[in-house]
Structure 1
Amino acid sequence: MLDLGLDKLALIGAVALIVIGPEKLPKVARTVGHMMGKARRYVADVKAEVNRSIEMEELAKARKQFEDAAHEVGSTVQGSFNEAAQTLSEPFDADAWNPAPAPASPTPPKKNWRLKRSRTPQWFKQTAGVRQHVQSGAARVKRHRR
C-alpha cells in the first residue's frame, strides 16, 4: 500500500503550508480529518453489512439443514406409526397371549409417617415454615426476649 514515513508526512505538510497558506491550513486540515472519518465510517458500515449478509446466509443454511432433519425424523416417526397401526389391526389371538397373574404380596406394607415426612425436600420445609427443631416453651420465650 502506501508507505508514508515521518519524513514524507513532513514534506507533504510543508508543501501544504506553502500552497494553502498558514491562515487556511487549520480549516483545510479539519475538513480533511472530517472526510477521513466519514470514509472510515462508510468502510466500517460496508464491512458490517457484508458480515451481516454472510451470517444470514449461514443461518439460512442451518435452517434448511434443521428443516431437512425434522422432515426426516417426521417421516421416520410416521413410518413407525403406520407399522404399529398395521400390527395392531391384525386379529387378536387370546390363546397366544396369556400373561401369568401377578403374585399377591403376603401383607400390605405399613405406612411409616416418619419416612413420608422425611421425603419432603428441605427447601420446601423452609419456605412453608415447617419447624425443623422442637423447642420447649421456655426456650421460645428466651429466644424472643431481649
Structure 2
Amino acid sequence: MIEISLGKLLLLALIALIVLGPEKLPHAARTAGALVRRLRSGWESVRAEVERELEIEELKRTAREAAARAEAMQAEMNKTARETREQVAATATEVRDGIAHVQQELAEADATKDTPHGN
C-alpha cells in the first residue's frame, strides 16, 4: 500500500488546516477516514476474492491432474485385463488341444487293442 512518513503526514495536516480552516477540518478528516476505511475494505474484499479464485483454479488443476492419472490407470488396467484374457484363451486352447490329443491317442490305443495281432 501507500507508505506515508510522519513528516509527510504532518505536512498534509498543515496544508489541510490552511486550506480548509479549523471549522471544516474535523468534518473533512472524518470524511477522509471513512473514505480510507471504504478503500481498505474494498481492497480487502478484492484481495480475498482473488485469493478464492486462485484457490479454485488450484483445485481445478489438481482435479484435472487426478482425473488424468485415473484415466491412465484405467487404461493400464484395461490393457492388463486384455492381456490376461488373451493368455487365458491361449491356455484354454492349449488345454483343449491337449485333451483332444489324449482322446485321440486313447482311441487309437483302443483300436489297436481291439484288432487281432496275428492277421
TM-score category of the 2 structures, normalised to the smaller one = 0.5 to 0.7
Give the Cα separation in 2 of the matches to 1:2 and 1:45: 18
Instruction: Report the Cα offset of residue 32 of structure 1.
Output: 0.4
Moved more, 85-94 or 35-44: 85-94
**1:17 shift after superposition:** 1.8
Which residue, 91, 109, 128 being the options, matches 2:93?
A: 91
2:39 alignment partner in structure 1: 39
Any residues of structure 2 matched to 1:1-146 within 5 Å, and which? 4-89=4-89, 90-91=92-93, 93=95
Shift of 1:39: 0.6
Q: Between the two proteins, what is the percent identity of the paired residues?
A: 33
Normalised by the size of structure 2, how large is the TM-score? 0.66
Q: What secondary structure is seen at the aligned counterpart in 1 of 2:46?
A: helix
More helix by share: 2
Question: How many residue pairs get matched?
Answer: 95
**Structure 1, gaps ≥5 residues long:** 96-146
Shift of 1:47: 1.6
Partner amino acid, structure 1, of 2:64: K
SS in 1 for 2:23: coil
Q: Distance in 1 between matches of 2:13 and 2:72?
A: 69
Q: Aligned AA for 2:86?
A: Q
CA distance in structure 2 between the partners assigned to 1:3 and 1:91 by the alignment: 84
- Aligned position for 1:143: none
Q: Secondary structure at the match of 2:37?
A: helix
1:34-67 deviation per Cα after TM superposition (whole angstroms, max 9, x unaligned): 1001111111122222222222222222111111
Note the C-alpha offset of 1:3: 6.3
Q: CA RMSD in A?
A: 2.4
Counterpart secondary structure, 1:12: helix
Taking a change above 3 Å as real, the CA distance of residues 62 and 7 of structure 1, as seen in their structure-2 partners, is: closer
- TM-score scaled to structure 1, two decimals? 0.55
How far is the alpha carbon of 1:92 from its aligned partner? 5.8
Change (3 A) 1:80 1:61: same
Q: Which runs of 4+ in 1 moved over 4 A?
A: none
